[in-house]
Amino acid sequence: MAGEGDSEPRKSFKLLGFLDVQSVPCSRESVLYGSVGSLVVGLGYFLATSRVRRSCDFAVGGFICTTLGYWFYCRYNLAQQRIRQRMLKEAVRNKILYEGSHLDPTRKQTGNERSDS
């Protein structure tokens, strides 16, 4: 059955022995985009100059730059998303807490309610 294999823990893939690619946010995409970036930079430099060793150097540099660039971009967007989620969660909690009470900011107050307070 399909549900039987789901109970087993998934094996993690560790890059360089310490970076767990599956559990760290943005690491998988960063490594994938970095490898594509290194291929593009290295191959482009090789086609332009036909120097093998120097194109490998550029490929390594392209990998590092692309990986770090996407890592920071992804982490920044993830932090913004978490802040927006936290603000939305707080707003929903306040809406549930104050809905229907005299503290509800969306509730229209009539003249009689204002004089009671």
Give the pLDDT of residue 18.
Answer: 62
pTM above 0.85, yes or no: no
Residue pLDDT, tens place only, 1-29? 455 555 556 666 666 666 666 777 888 89
Residue pLDDT, tens place only, 22-47? 777 888 899 899 999 999 999 999 99
Give the pLDDT of residue 33.
Answer: 94
Query: How far apart (Å, rounded) are the C-alpha atoms in residues 114 and 20?
Result: 59
Tally the C-alpha atoms within 13 A of residue 45's C-alpha that lie toward its C-beta. Answer: 17
| 15: enclosing H helix or E strand | strand 14-15
Residue pLDDT, tens place only, 67-79? 999 999 999 999 9
